[in-house]
Amino acid sequence: MTRPVTLFTGQWADLPFEEVCRLAASWGYDGLEIACWGDHFEVDRALAEPSYVGDKRAQLARHGLSVWAISAHLVGQAVCDHPIDERHRRILPARIWGDGDPEGVRRRAAQEVKDTARAASLLGVDTVIGFTGSSIWHTVAMFPPVPPEMIERGYEDFAERWNPILDVFDEVGVRFAHEVHPSEIAYDYWTTARALEAVGHRPAFGLNFDPSHFVWQDLDPVGFLSDYRERIYHVDCKESVRTLNGRNGRLASHLAWGDPRRGWDFVSVGHGDVPWERVFRMLNSIGYQGPISIEWEDAGMDRLAGGPEALEFVRRLNSIQPSAAAFDSAFGSERS
């Protein structure tokens, strides 16, 4: 079975959902990974208005599109984050931000992620993609010196906040796919292992594989896929490129996206350093049959060009399928 290719709508949420549906369908996408912001999918309305979910599915159907996953990245970020500050106010709905009291923001965000699982179930979707936030990301430089107990408390805080959320995911038959990403509780190979341990390897908590975050950390995305194969619940295709030239550093120097002085940057799929063919061959090897969701991020390319071009690139890779017969089987065939 050929995996469906979807467009993640997060970077398109400034456009009306109807327009994003029109564009994606005209380019040939099979469906959308729908962001829970803008007017794309509103969790509170999905639970409060009886016709909302049905209307959304009808809207997709009119364009010949399907949905396999929705995204709660922005609200999920606030569940564990420390500090909570003006960055969060910019990305959160006003009803989640409230008066800005940090613990209140975290609690309202946690409730919203629970509600997102409920809304996903109503939509007929079994996977919610998102971030977790982290109370210990700010210690990543390890100075001032960080006592081990502080790191341990960070994982305990994650488990205490997310286990009740995951209980709701279990209740409604939905899975959470955490995107391994710097600034989260799991941002590389070993922190992923530690995060899974913290929640007891419960099936409700899995992974959204996005190799763009592996490349600039010098991690092997293919090895990650192989080792965490049982936890790969969703796949995003996003691309990054390194420019580590002795001046441009890996930490990017607080420079904006697209600045040539950055040591790495996001680029449209097919224009960077992700070993895509090896990634897709490993996806075949581990038996992943879920959607491949294209996440467009490129400050140097217009998205109306990047969206269809990325789809064409991924379609070619997605067509690589294991051979039905061993290539050397003909060598041993008997001949009369």
Q: What are phi and psi of 234, to 5 degrees?
A: -165, 155
Letter string b/e over residues 108-122, b meaning 16 or more CB atoms within 10 A of that residue's CB = bbbbbbbbbbbbbbe
Question: How confident is the chain (336 residues) per 10-residue block, as mean pLDDT?
Answer: 92 98 98 98 98 98 98 98 98 98 98 98 98 98 97 98 99 98 98 98 98 97 98 98 97 97 98 98 97 97 98 96 73 62
Q: Is the Cβ–Cβ distance between 232 and 280 less than 8 Å?
A: no
For residue 161, count CB atoms less than 10 angstroms from its CB and return exposed for 0-12, middle for 13-18, buried for 19 or more. Answer: buried
pLDDT confidence of residue 333: 60
- Which pairs from 9-14 meet CB under 8 Å and 24+ separation? 9/33, 9/34, 9/35, 9/38, 9/40, 9/71, 10/35, 10/37, 10/71, 10/73, 10/295, 11/295, 11/296, 11/297, 11/303, 12/296, 12/303, 13/37, 13/38, 13/40, 14/38
Q: Judge contact between 157 and 186, C-beta under 8 A.
A: no
Token pair of 130 as six digits: 């998102």
Helix residue ranges per DSSP H, the chain: 17-27, 43-48, 52-62, 73-80, 86-91, 94-97, 102-123, 148-172, 189-198, 212-215, 221-227, 276-286, 303-318
Q: Which residues of 204-227 are buried (b: 16+ CB within 10 A; e: fewer)?
A: bbbbbbbbbbbbbeebebbebbee
Q: What is the pLDDT of residue 319?
A: 94
CB atoms under 10 Å from CB of 289, counted, come to: 11
Domains by residue range for the chain, with CATH: 5-324 (3.20.20.150)
pTM, rounded to two decimals: 0.96
